[in-house]
Structure 1
């Protein structure tokens, strides 16, 4: 006897009877889960699935039965969705299926194909039969439509002839982006049965889908359209979210009054949680403030289907009473019966308390109003005065009965009445209180009145009038105006003060400061500094702590210098005046004071000290060089005399040559010292700095290394200055060498010129600079740069950052002296790792460029037979000079000083052709000697000799550039040529 398992609703008894009468053993289950348990316990021969089961449930059951190993031979028949299938027709299907011995649902339909087809065609669920397609690796890539039922067409909008035999990616482009192919691949290839909900983007619909295997590489899909359900669910979700987020408390009860739902606002209002009140009656909120008739009237209204609105005094969970304004709406079902009530509650406790207070005050206001000195009145909607107290009437020189009943414009001046009407109208329209302060002019003059207006409700709870209380606030307003003016004056003084003004706590935290204070520390406005501590503005906590402790001890500090720190970390020096406020002032104790930025003053002070130091060093160097020149003159002179007397083959000659070379090198050093001390002999001419640079460019390129790029930026117009050409060349060469040495790994050296106008501001910031037109010569490098300590010493003689033996330390000091002697200034700008720029400012000249002198061909030192009076206080130098002159053929008379020279001249009757004298001597200067001898011997020429010209030309009264001058140390050739030029030329040449 074959066993048939029927699955479906319990009303299938006629079908079960027919099957039993046909000799089959029938087992019936109502659910898929129960049917699956039966299959596992004792597999039947056939499972008959009622078509009234949901398609997804039926599909899931088929898939799960197929997945049972013990049910491999079980046949499955799916009936159509007809509510009452014909039992005899079903019996024929069952017999055909069992007799054919079909192993699965696919072949079980063959004997009665038309009947099976009827079930397929009549299903309200969409059904589609597919075959999966895979690539070479077996991965599912697509699937083909084998068959679809009419419900498929209805639910998808796709016609059967459009899809049969076609791939899904052809029918629905873009479907590959959805998970269908991958999911159905698992069903067809792995035998899995799945059920899921999915939005099909190409169709724009939501579906509930069941898929199960159906033969080899085939699968069946049963689905229903759930789009409307999903839309409804989303609508319900949004409605629920809106109710949850509502600011008003919402309560839903059933018809019997049991609470079924509340929102969070209900909990905030009552203190009761949602779960605490579910199933409870709202009477848990009752306060006992309302009698039974109140609730009876409310329920009569609600049960009649009408909305009830009203105020109710309820009790919170914590026992406190509150007043709520409540709107309760009945909810009806489809049959029109009331099933629920929705109540919306608003807490109006404060509003009601205010209204009740106003009503209470109305009962006793007359007593209070009549005793008050304030002006109290009531104005109705029509603008008539309904009440005034005695003080208000007296303000206008009337009795209350003379004012009551009159319109505002009958009592007040037109302008005042208009303002009152506007304010009263605003209160009547808004129902809210209003306070206004207004200036009035009547009676004895200007008066300020402060008026408070509030709405008054009538018996119908409509605002019917406005009550007002006015007070003469003239004294207060004038005091406030005076205070405001005082505060504005203080604020103006505070904010516009060029000095920084501040107030701090005792530990230094900024409480208040003006913008000037903020700018000193690098901030834009005072608001950015307020709240900062002392440690954030002063880099040395110990120093600032000492300031605070001293201030606490002394109470005030005057002209106290402190080092601060700006917003970007730079140092700033400030001068402070501070005092400790300990009186009974608001916020005391605190510190208040002023600060002034001393940074520029400090910088200029440092520049001045540096300039004074360099000046002192220059004076010392000049004096040393002057005395040293006398010694060098002796050494070089005697070496020249000795060389004249020594045969060229004599081995001693080489020693004498070395002595002369050494003396020459030493003379070069003294010249550099003299240049630094600005005591060189100059031959200033008007020259074009750009032309000088062009002439030096090829030499500069040989001077620097190949890994250094030389860039010159010169002007087309001449850059004219009046200076010694050789010294300008020396400045450029020395600065170029300095830049080269700062570029050990190569880089760029830039030389440029430009016109410059130095103004008063620049000169105030740069000690020693003078306003006027200049030519700016800048030498910049991209080298290692310098720190502040190095920059402060670079112009000092013998200061060098090079290794011992690699430099004299006179290069930049020579540049400094040359620039200063030319009336200019030099400034250096550099930071470590940022290269350096030296800017030289030379006074601009407006004269014509001087033509270069033709070179003089070398010749033998010329001599002569004239008589020369030699005056020199240094005996060794005097002796040397005498011997040099005598070797040239001259007759030499010598004197140790001016007095001796005058005596010698007085005794001598013969002619003296030339006076050679030192400038600086004891007893008498060279200039005075020349003047006194010149009176007696007008034919005598004069040659001044000195180690430097500062003393001789300037300090001793000789006009610079207008006397014959020879600088020590000198060679015999230079002496011979200078003397010969004087003696051969006109007097004064």
Structure 2
């Protein structure tokens, strides 16, 4: 039965109704005492048909209705349209009638149309004879808890993804290092063959073809090292808008005519400290990916902007600190990606393209470049809804100049003399020795640091130390070079590694002349 619509007593959302048929005589008073003071819970009664018959202060606060507005209405109005269409209100009463209680969580709708996440309990009420006479319903607003749980879950997922990518990066970097050693042997063996055989035109074409294949392999390892955050970078202050404008013609040529390319650059000064060449490569990779997602044409939009990342938002991106960022977004109207693909797009060699139409390293390069640059890359995509990739780069005051490099190169080494080559890979060692001897050097060799130090102590006349950096037996190439310089101040040193210099320990400098000269594998005879 509906209650009177007289003005409510102070502290009450509305007058209590007469008791439900068959309920104890003291129900009204007991309900008033126990329920009306509760403000954190919506507590109200329903008749057997599901119509609201009582309303407390908590219900008014949570749902927004006054008692006179809601009493007599069916409780299904609190459900979303989709839940009403699915019959969830009737299901709740049916289960409560059958089992005595119904419990669930879900979205509910306030008077103003806004939604909140609710924890709901519906209890069956029976009279003295056990006959159902209505329901008691308790609703609690759990929106803040749900948001906190979602934020925590997003943070955990982001951290797990970052840890997975870090592990894959370590593995990838190691593979690239070993692959560079193999390429060093291949490329230099080809150089030696060409110099010694004096081949005819046909043989030279074969050697050149093999050399081009080795060069393509070297470019693949560069992409692997980019993913592993070990590619050599030369960051400088750049206006991002100007970089994009200077590269825009290339980006447009990468897209066939059915695709409309639009560029929207924020007029504000957008300056970041990045390697411009690698940035352009990353941008081209993203544009090519977007193009391939629109085989029948569409719109590709490149936009820049500036965004302040707060502490709460940064928690969902473990590799990004709160602060001011330049953003570059590449959006397409293409096919989009399901979640299972989205979770793997940055993995090396992962691709959904047909065999031969992609290496699966484009997005890996973008991921590694952004991480190595202190930035972040985010992807938003849904099937049939297109994809947006957003790059975040730490914004820099355009008036702040980067610190000058104190790197200086040693003088050119002599073209002949005695050289000690230290390399733990026997095949790399053999081909390097052959090249140096062909140049006129007398070559001594060692397979590790301790053996090299023994030779340096024993052999007085050594002009150059050429050493790999990553070596066994507890003494790496940097430590060997530093100890060798202490023994012989005039000794020239050249370091080499399958990793780029930027991925190596920061202590490889000798303190006086900056870093030792460095040669990245695979090196060619001409570089030596």
**TM-score under structure 2 length normalisation:** 0.73
2:517 to 942, 964, 967: 964
Report the CA distance between 1:839 and its aligned residue.
0.8
Residues in 2 aligned to 1:610 and 1:539: alpha-carbon distance in whole angstroms: 36
- Find the counterpart in structure 1 of residue 202 from structure 2: 651
**CA distance in structure 2 between the partners assigned to 1:748 and 1:886 by the alignment:** 58
Aligned to 1:490: 38
Partner of 1:898: 449
The answer to whether 1:931 aligns with 2:479 is no
Larger radius of gyration: 1
List alignment gaps of at least 5 residues for structure 2: 1-28, 65-69, 110-114, 405-411
Aligned residue-pair number: 458
Q: CA deviation at 1:936?
A: 0.8
Q: 2:346 maps to what in 1?
A: 795
2:380 equivalent in structure 1? 829
State the shift of 1:537 in Å: 8.6
Query: Is 1:843 the equivalent of 2:417?
Result: no
* Cα 1:669/1:578, change in 2 over 3 Å: farther
Q: Are the aligned partners of 2:327 and 2:393 in contact in 1 as well (CA < 8 Å)?
A: yes
- Per-residue Cα deviation, 1:2-34 (whole angstroms, up to 9, x for no partner): xxxxxxxxxxxxxxxxxxxxxxxxxxxxxxxxx
Could you tell me how far apart the structure 2 residues matched to 1:885 and 1:538 are?
A: 81
Match of 2:211 among 660, 682, 690: 660
Cα deviation 1:322-362 (Å, max 9, x = unaligned): xxxxxxxxxxxxxxxxxxxxxxxxxxxxxxxxxxxxxxxxx
Matched-pair contact (CA < 8 Å) for 1:580–1:592: no
Which of 491, 496, 500 is the equivalent residue of 1:940? 491
What is the 5 A alignment of 1:91-170? none
Q: How does 1:728-807 map to 2 (within 5 A)?
A: 728-807=279-358
Q: Deviations over 1:736-760 (max 9, x none)?
A: 1111112212222222222222111
**Equivalent residue, structure 1, for 2:220:** 669
Aligned partner of 1:273 in structure 2 is none
- 1:431-830 counterparts in 2 under 5 A? 487=35, 489-491=37-39, 493-494=40-41, 532=79, 536=83, 595=142, 596-597=145-146, 598-649=149-200, 651-830=202-381
Are the structure 2 counterparts of residues 928 and 758 from structure 1 closer, same or farther at C-alpha, using a change threshold of 3 Å? Answer: same
The question of whether the paired residues in 2 share the 8 Å contact of 1:870 and 1:915 is answered with yes
Does the 8 A contact of 1:581 with 1:592 survive in 2?
no
In 2 relative to 1, CA 538–731 (structure 1 residues): closer, same or farther, beyond 3 Å?
farther
Q: Secondary structure at the match of 2:389?
A: strand
Within 5 Å, give how 1:64-75 maps onto structure 2: none
Q: Is the 8 A contact 1:672 1:814 kept in 2?
A: yes
Hey, what's the Cα distance between the residues in 2 that align with 1:766 and 1:502?
40
- Report how far residue 637 of structure 1 moved: 1.6
1:580 CA displacement: 8.0
Mapping of 1:151-300 within 5 angstroms?
none
Structure 2 contact 423–447 (Cα < 8 Å) conserved: yes
Q: How does 1:75-90 map to 2 (within 5 A)?
A: none
| Separation of aligned partners in 2, 1:629 and 1:672 | 12
Determine if contact 1:872/1:917 at 8 Å carries over to the other structure.
Answer: yes
Contact 2:501/2:520, CA 8 A, preserved across alignment: no
Question: Shift of the alpha carbon at 1:896?
Answer: 0.2
Q: Would you say the 8 A contact 2:181–2:521 is kept in 1?
A: yes
Distance change in 2, residues 1:968/1:575 (3 Å) = farther
The TM-score, its normalising length taken from structure 1, stands at 0.41
Relative to its length, the structure with more strand (as a share) is 1
Post-superposition CA distance 1:848-905 (Å, at most 9, x none): 4899xxxxxxxxx997114332211111111122222222333332110001001000
Measured on the aligned residues, the alpha-carbon RMSD in Å equals 4.5
Give the Cα separation in 2 of the matches to 1:736 and 1:584.
70
On the 8 A contact 1:913/1:940 being kept in 2, the answer is yes
Distance 1:488 1:971 in 2: 85
How far off its partner does 1:674 sit?
Answer: 1.0
Cα distance in 1 for partners of 2:83, 2:127 equals: 29
CA distance, structure 2, for counterparts of residue 868 and residue 510 of structure 1: 95
- Would you say the 8 A contact 1:863–1:890 is kept in 2? no
- Match for residue 439 of structure 2? 888
> What is the rounded CA distance, in whole Å, between the counterparts of 1:647 and 1:895 in structure 2?
31
SS of residue matched to 1:751: strand
C-alpha deviations, 1:410-444, integer Å up to 9, x for none? xxxxxxxxxxxxxxxxxxxxxxxxxxxxxxxxxxx
Question: How many Å apart are 1:710 and its aligned residue?
Answer: 2.2
Q: CA deviation at 1:649?
A: 1.6
